Amino acid sequence: MRIATWNVNSIKQRVGHLVGFLDEAKPDVVCLQELKCQDEGFPRAEIEAAGYAVETLGQKAYNGVALLVRAPLGMSEVRRGLPGDETDEQSRYIEALISGEDLAPVRVASIYLPNGNPTPGPKYTYKLGFMERLRLHARALLADEEALVLAGDYNVIPEPEDAADASAWVNDALFLPETRSAFRALLAEGFTEALRACDPSPGLYTFWDYQAGCWQRNQGIRIDHLLLSPQAADRLVSASVQKHLRGLEKPSDHVPVTVELRPR
């Protein structure tokens, strides 16, 4: 079972790249972030024609998350929005239970954590609040003892080796001590960070800024993560970064990260 996460940075601009990725990699589940469109604007026909069912939580011009599931697998128990703050109107969380005839069910969430800049300020306060809500929700889900994958753009650089130049990020919300501590607290609930479990080496990046030739100079950071519950980690086969997609014409500044789990 292949589960991929990808911040597409505008689904309307990147739908061709997405369909190409679906055809090339044939993931069973895709978690998308930063759709930048409302639900009715999502290019559902193109994705369904590629063989995928779609669930979205869109937002005009900003944010937006989606889950794509390849037939014959199905989605149920769809949750839109992260619990814990009824006033939160930002579209950053969607989850569903993925099941199929030959698959032990896996609950998957697509997450787009806030950037949090500038700091200090309300955006950073919101980021830390969102991370705490995510931790508490994740704890509740773990109590069900089912395979769970929390995938998405976390906007967190966990360690210095996750940046080509960590010194450039010391005052950024993505790398501040409070951010990294909140991420570690989430992991401490019992999650395995899939990519690092498979490859601990430095130089694994998932994002390259459009500015200053970051892609050409490989000045990247790793901020897209898949966290596995113990039941999902027991089924872990491999994890990888699809770096080549950053070299496409008019690409997203993120690339997909994919984990493969045994079906049972």
CA pair distance 214, 143, nearest whole angstrom: 42
**Neighbouring residues of 103: CB distance < 8 A, sequence distance ≥ 6:** 1, 73, 263, 264
- pTM score above 0.95: yes
The pLDDT value recorded for residue 96 is 98
The pLDDT value recorded for residue 136 is 98
**Neighbouring residues of 177: CB distance < 8 A, sequence distance ≥ 6:** none
Cα 166 → chain centroid: 22
CA-wise closest residue to 107 among 64, 73, 77, 65? 77
7 is in an annotated binding site: yes
Kindly state the tokens that stand for 137. Answer: 């929700």
171 is in an annotated binding site: no
- For 2-261, CATH gives 3.60.10.10
CA-wise closest residue to 32 among 72, 69, 60? 69
Please list the active-site residues.
Answer: 112, 153, 254
The pLDDT value recorded for residue 88 is 97
155 is in an annotated binding site: yes
- Distance separating the N- and C-terminal Cα atoms of the chain: 9
The pLDDT value recorded for residue 24 is 97
Which residue numbers in the chain have pLDDT < 70? none
9 is in an annotated binding site: no
The pLDDT value recorded for residue 98 is 98
Report the DSSP pairing between strands 93-100 and 74-80: antiparallel
